[in-house]
Structures are given as C-alpha cells and as structure tokens.
C-alpha cells in the first residue's frame, strides 16, 4: 500500500473515532427523571504489568476498574438491585459475581465498585490492545416490574512495560506533587520478587564478593553487600539510558507521561535502562540477598534505597551513577553521596513518594508471571564472563588517535577477528525485539557491518506490511570495541523503496564470549536508542 493510502486510512479511522465519540455522548449514561439513573465512571487504561492489583480491594492504590453510581429517581422504592460486570478476553470469568442491594429508597444513592480479576494474559501484551467492559444490572421497581439494563465501555489494555503515574482527571487535581504520582505503589510490581536464573545469580555473586556476609546480620555487612550489588552493575557494564523523547537533561523521565518500565531481567539483558529501570533492578537484587528494598519517586527521577537491619536508617544509592557503563561512572561511595544529597533535599520539601516494596507486595501489588529462563541464560547473554572478571572495566582509547599513535589501541594477533556472518537481535524501547543478520568485514582496525532485517509491521490502515532494511556501517575496531556509523540506509515497505528516517545511525559494540558475541547499543539522530546483541554463526 502506498504511503498516501496509509495516511488516508489513518484519517478515515480518526474521523470514525469522532463519530463514535459523538454517538457515545448521545447514548451515554444518565437516565431521565422517573428512572434509576446510572453514572458509570471507569478507568479507560489498564496497567497490564500491575494486573494483579486490580483484584485486591485493599490495594494502597484504589484499583477499581468501574464505579457505578445508582440514584433512585423513580419516586418509589426499588428492591433487589443487583449488578455484575465482565471484561472481554482478559478476565478470569465470563461475568463477575452479582453485587446485591436489597432496597433503594426514593432519592437514595448507592456506589458499586468493580475489581476485576485479570488473567496473566493481561501482562503478556507487548503492545496496546482494545478491550470491552460490559455492565448488566437488574432491579424491581415500585410496581413490581423487573427491569434489566446493560451498558459498556471501550478500554485500552496497556502493554506489560507501560506505566501510568496517575489517572486523576484535571478536575480532581489539587496542584500537589502527589497528584501526578498517585500510582507510585504499583512500581513494586516491576521489582521481581523471584527471578533466580538472572537476578538471583548476580546478587549471589555480589554477596560472595562481599565475603559471603549475611546482609541482615549488621549494618556494616549490609553496607558491604549493598556496595557489591552496585559494583556488579558497573562490572557487567550496565549503563544509564536517558529517555529519547525527553529534552530536559535535568530530568530522568516526565512524570506526566506514560513511562516504559523494564523488568530487572530486561535491564540485565539489554545492559541499559532509565533511572527507574536501574532503581528497580537494584531493589530486586537487594531483596534477593535479604536487604529491605525501597524506591524513592520524585520529580522526574527515581533511586533505590535500603533500610539497614539494625539501626533502621535508610541508605540511598544513585543507581544512574553507573553512567555509560564504563569509565564515566561513579563508585559506590560517590553514588551513595549523590543520592544522600537528593534524599535530604526531598525530605525537606516533601516532593517525593516512598515505595515500600515488600509492604506493597503484601498489600496486593503482585509481580506478573515472567517466562522461565534456562539456568545458563547469563552465559548466553555474555553477562557471566563480565561478572567473573570482578572489576569494572575502563573504556579503551579509541583507535586512530593523532600524533605518533599515542594512546592508540592496535589490533594485534590476539585480538578477536570479526569477519563473518552474525545473527543479531535488536531490543526496542517499546519492549519489542527484531532478529536479523549482520555481515562483518574487517581489515586491520577498519570494519564494515551490514545489517539486514526483514519483518512485518502494522500500518495505520490496520493491515500488516512487509518491511525490509539494509543498513551499512563503517567504523573502527580496537580489539575489543566497535564504533561505527551508518550514513545511508535502504528501507522498503511491500517492495516500495522509502526514505530512511533518523540518519545517521550509530552502533557501539563490545566483543564478548571469547569473540563469539558482541553486545552494545544502537542510536539514531533523533535520540532513539536500543540494545543490540550479535552472535557468530
């Protein structure tokens, strides 16, 4: 389909949405005088990663999906009012149990809340999906007549990685910081309580490097273990990734927008994450070695914090101190000092929320089910090789230095040879992944990489289209690190050539697994970044 047709289809759908919106206004809730009036309020977006919280009435966040306000305007007594609900595809049962109200006197109001029990399917979505919520209610009026009525609403099931900080309407906001962060307890759902193949193994290694201390035995042992957890993140070159769509460098995220959150295993695999991703990873590692974990959510930033076992004092850590994953990073003492300064500031102005991870787990903010991983997954990701080195690596000087080669790394006989075919996987910020092939040619310190991807993508017309990409990169190789740039790229949609967007592209890769793999990042000129992994074929 031609791009003009795609745009036209999008325009038609947008117009249809306006028509349906107008129809909803005409046929919406209410009720004329002399009837049982229904004012149906509902939350139009469901946070899939926190789906278990919706079924917990005592959750620290009011997680009802629907609030039905019934007003008896009939002028007579209503009896046997009952109401039930269902959500298409994603709820455990076809209809919820009936909620019953024996009688409603004239002018009386009753408020009914629906807490759906979603299935694990709600947390498996990698992109947004529509769903319908249905309501049915019955009552007997003063004349003895039984009345049955129905209503419905369209919902959006958000992907498993999307987080909505607040669903308060403009009319409900008071202007306080907390209005923009009402859902902060739900962050606990992303802190993996048990992920032994990934988080547990890394945390255990860090604990051994601290001397095998019991972190809950004393404040001193807790601090030593906590330091090794942070240093483990530096050792495996996890880097801080500033969100691409955020222009203010003083912020780590926009609290008024939807944020993409990674689970700890995602951050380990991709070796990068936002401030919240890094805080969630460290909190999960803390819990794995029995350190009480907290998250501090503030204006556009988040950092992890531990409660020391004996004194009960908080020890904050600036997880973004890992920097670029190499030389531009803080050690543990610096990360603690930086976070402590922030903690003192927010405790004085009150513009923060404290996520007590374990308490919120107990209150119903459960973790979603994650797919099982093989016990050697860290080896397959190239993480164990880095972790076993035991010290953060420093960035090597780039090849091609000026003068007489001072500081230049020459590719010697012991360096890995890159020439050949490689399978590659790129992990997008949306949580999606694409597989492809990369052909590498190396001559001395010069290297050429040609990436080829073929995949299907849904267009604005609602149809799937075949996309093919070929991206040639030119760059340098110093024996460990690859730095390369793509100035031209070929993209076709259903066989039609299209202009590439976001050029130039850049990749920064590190050779791992004894030359059998490469790990790193891709970035384009628009600030979009993604993690990239290659495996020799």
CB atoms within 10 A of CB 446: 15
CB atoms within 10 A of CB 146: 9
CA distances to 257, 389, 402 from 163, rounded to whole Å, are 9, 35, 47
| Residue scoring higher pLDDT (186 or 501) | 186
| pLDDT in the model for residue 331 | 92
Alpha helical stretches, state H, 365-421: 377-380, 383-387
pLDDT tens digits, 65-107: 999 999 999 999 999 999 999 998 898 888 999 999 999 999 9
3-state secondary structure 202-269: HHHHHHHHCCCCCCCCCHHHHHHHHHHHHHHHHHCCCEECCCCCCCCCCCCCCCCCCEECCCHHHHHH
Q: Which residue range forms the structural domain that includes residue 490?
A: 420-536
Q: In whole angstroms, what is the distance from residue 260 CA to residue 47 CA? A: 11
Most confident of the following: 7-16, 64-73, 249-258, 514-523: 64-73
489 and 522: one domain? yes
Q: In whole angstroms, what is the distance from residue 33 CA to residue 43 CA? A: 27
215 and 300: one domain? yes
CATH number of the domain bearing residue 500: 2.40.128.120
Residue 414 lies in a domain: no
CB atoms within 10 A of CB 333: 10
Residue 377 lies in a domain: yes
On whether the CB atoms of residues 309 and 222 are closer than 8 A, the answer is yes
176 and 152: one domain? no
Extract long-range pairs of 338-344: CB within 8 Å, 24+ residues apart. Answer: 339/303, 339/305, 340/316, 342/296, 342/298, 342/301, 342/303, 342/316, 342/318, 343/296, 343/305, 343/314, 343/316
Residue 208 lies in a domain: yes
- Sequence-ordered list of residues with C-beta below 8 angstroms from that of 359, at least 6 positions apart, any chain: none
pLDDT tens digits, 342-391: 999 999 988 999 999 999 999 999 999 999 999 999 999 999 988 887 66
Query: Measured on CA atoms in the order 515, 517, 521, 523, is the torsion positive or negative?
Result: positive
CA distances to 316, 361, 421, 464, 498 from 436, rounded to whole Å, are 41, 39, 11, 19, 19
| pLDDT in the model for residue 84 | 97
| pLDDT in the model for residue 245 | 56
Percent of the chain with pLDDT over 90: 55
Residue 56 lies in a domain: yes
CB atoms within 10 A of CB 420: 12
Strand partners, 507: 484, 522
180 and 135: one domain? no
On whether the CB atoms of residues 353 and 184 are closer than 8 A, the answer is yes
113 and 218: one domain? no
| pLDDT in the model for residue 170 | 65
| pLDDT in the model for residue 402 | 33
Q: In whole angstroms, what is the distance from residue 186 CA to residue 380 CA? A: 31
Indicate the pLDDT class of residue 428, thresholds 50, 70 and 90: confident
| pLDDT in the model for residue 157 | 95
Of the ranges 41-45, 405-409, 498-502, 527-531, which one carries the lowest mean pLDDT score?
Answer: 405-409
The phi-psi region of residue 346 (left if phi > 0; otherwise alpha if psi is between -120 and 50; otherwise beta) is alpha
Whole-prediction pTM = 0.67
144 and 197: one domain? no
| pLDDT in the model for residue 312 | 93
User: In 3D, which of 133, 113, 109 has the Cα closest to residue 68?
Assistant: 113
| Residue scoring higher pLDDT (399 or 287) | 287
pLDDT tens digits, 448-498: 899 998 888 877 666 778 888 999 998 888 888 898 989 888 888 888 888
pLDDT tens digits, 236-290: 999 998 766 555 666 676 667 788 999 999 999 999 999 999 999 999 999 999 9
Q: In whole angstroms, what is the distance from residue 178 CA to residue 351 CA? A: 7
104 and 54: one domain? yes
Q: In whole angstroms, what is the distance from residue 334 CA to residue 318 CA? A: 8
107 and 49: one domain? yes
| pLDDT in the model for residue 500 | 84
Indicate the pLDDT class of residue 443, thresholds 50, 70 and 90: confident
Q: In whole angstroms, what is the distance from residue 199 CA to residue 109 CA? A: 50
304 and 433: one domain? no
| pLDDT in the model for residue 22 | 26
Please identify, among 157, 182, 211, the residue that sits at the C-terminal boundary of a domain. 157
- Sequence-ordered list of residues with C-beta below 8 angstroms from that of 323, at least 6 positions apart, any chain: 239, 240, 329, 330
194 and 268: one domain? yes
On whether the CB atoms of residues 323 and 240 are closer than 8 A, the answer is yes
| pLDDT in the model for residue 479 | 81
pLDDT tens digits, 37-54: 999 999 999 999 999 999
Please identify, among 157, 190, 218, the residue that sits at the C-terminal boundary of a domain. 157
| pLDDT in the model for residue 150 | 95
The number of distinct structural domains making up the chain is 3
| pLDDT in the model for residue 392 | 62
DSSP string across 289-325: TT-EEEEEEETTEEEEEEE-TTT--EEE--GGGGTTS
On whether the CB atoms of residues 122 and 92 are closer than 8 A, the answer is no
**Average pLDDT of the residues of the chain:** 83
376 and 440: one domain? no
pLDDT at 407 over 70: no
Q: Which helix (H) or strand (E) holds 375?
A: none
374 and 429: one domain? no
Strands (E), 359-463: 420-427, 433-443, 446-458
CATH number of the domain bearing residue 270: 3.10.620
pLDDT tens digits, 167-206: 877 666 666 777 888 999 999 999 999 899 999 999 999 9
Q: In whole angstroms, what is the distance from residue 415 CA to residue 407 CA? A: 17
pLDDT at 218 over 80: yes
Residue 11 lies in a domain: no
Of the ranges 74-78, 293-297, 396-400, 444-448, which one carries the lowest mean pLDDT score?
Answer: 396-400
Strands (E), 34-145: 36-42, 45-46, 66-72, 78-87, 99-104, 109-114, 129-140
Question: What average pLDDT does the segment 434-442 reach?
Answer: 89
Residue 518 lies in a domain: yes
Residue 397 lies in a domain: no
Please identify, among 387, 410, 428, the residue that sits at the C-terminal boundary of a domain. 387
**Burial readout 51-76 (b: 16 or more C-beta within 10 A, e: otherwise):** bbbbbbeebbbebbbbebebbbbbee
Question: What average pLDDT does the segment 156-160 reach?
Answer: 93
CATH number of the domain bearing residue 128: 2.60.40.10
Residue 405 lies in a domain: no
Question: What average pLDDT does the segment 426-445 reach?
Answer: 83
């Amino acid at each position: 389909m031609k791009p003009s047709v795609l745009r036209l289809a999008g325009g038609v759908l947008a117009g249809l949405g306006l028509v349906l919106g107008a129809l909803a206004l005409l046929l919406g809730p209410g009720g004329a005088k002399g009837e049982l009036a229904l004012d149906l309020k509902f939350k139009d977006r469901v946070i899939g990663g926190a789906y278990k919280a919706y079924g917990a009435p005592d959750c620290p966040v009011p997680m009802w999906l629907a609030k039905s306000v019934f007003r008896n305007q009939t002028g007579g007594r209503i009896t046997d009012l009952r109401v039930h609900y269902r959500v298409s595809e994603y709820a455990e049962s076809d209809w919820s149990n009936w909620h019953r109200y024996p009688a409603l006197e004239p002018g009386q109001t009753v408020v009914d809340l629906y807490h759906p029990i979603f299935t694990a399917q709600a947390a498996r979505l990698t992109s947004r999906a529509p769903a319908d919520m249905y309501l049915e209610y019955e009552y007997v009026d003063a004349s003895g007549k039984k009345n049955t009525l129905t209503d419905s609403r369209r919902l959006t099931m958000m992907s498993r990685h999307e987080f909505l900080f607040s669903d308060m309407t403009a009319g409900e906001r008071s202007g306080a910081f907390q209005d923009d962060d009402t859902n902060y307890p739900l962050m606990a759902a992303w802190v993996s309580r048990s992920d032994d193949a990934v988080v547990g193994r890394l945390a255990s290694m860090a604990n051994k490097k601290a001397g095998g201390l019991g972190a809950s035995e004393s404040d001193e042992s807790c601090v030593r273990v906590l330091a090794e957890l942070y240093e483990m993140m530096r050792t495996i070159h996890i880097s801080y990734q500033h969100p691409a769509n955020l222009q203010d460098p003083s912020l780590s995220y926009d609290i008024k927008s939807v944020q993409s959150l990674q689970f700890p295993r995602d951050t380990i695999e991709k070796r990068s994450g936002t401030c919240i991703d890094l805080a969630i990873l460290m909190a999960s590692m803390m819990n794995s070695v029995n350190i009480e974990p907290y998250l501090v959510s503030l204006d556009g930033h988040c950092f992890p914090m531990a409660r020391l076992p004996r004194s009960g004092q908080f020890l904050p850590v600036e997880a973004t101190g890992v920097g670029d994953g190499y030389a531009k990073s803080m050690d543990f003492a610096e990360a603690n000092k930086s976070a402590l300064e922030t903690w003192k500031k927010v405790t004085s102005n009150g513009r923060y929320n404290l996520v007590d991870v374990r308490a919120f787990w107990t209150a119903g903010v459960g973790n979603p089910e994650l797919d099982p991983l093989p016990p050697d997954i860290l080896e397959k990701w190239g993480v164990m090789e880095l972790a076993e080195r035991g010290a953060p690596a420093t960035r090597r000087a780039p090849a091609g230095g000026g003068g007489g080669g001072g500081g230049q790394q020459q590719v010697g006989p012991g360096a890995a040879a890159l020439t050949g075919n490689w399978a590659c996987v790129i992990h997008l910020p949306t949580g999606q992944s694409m597989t492809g092939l990369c052909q590498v040619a190396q001559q001395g310190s010069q290297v050429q990489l040609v990436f080829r991807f073929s995949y299907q993508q849904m267009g604005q017309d609602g149809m799937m289209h075949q996309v093919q990409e070929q991206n040639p990169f030119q760059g340098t190789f110093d024996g460990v690190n690859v730095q390369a740039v793509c100035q031209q790229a070929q993209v076709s949609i259903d066989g039609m050539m299209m202009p590439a967007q976001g050029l130039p592209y850049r990749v920064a890769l590190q050779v791992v697994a004894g030359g059998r793999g490469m790990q790193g990042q891709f970035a384009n000129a628009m600030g979009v970044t993604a993690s990239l992994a290659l495996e020799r074929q």
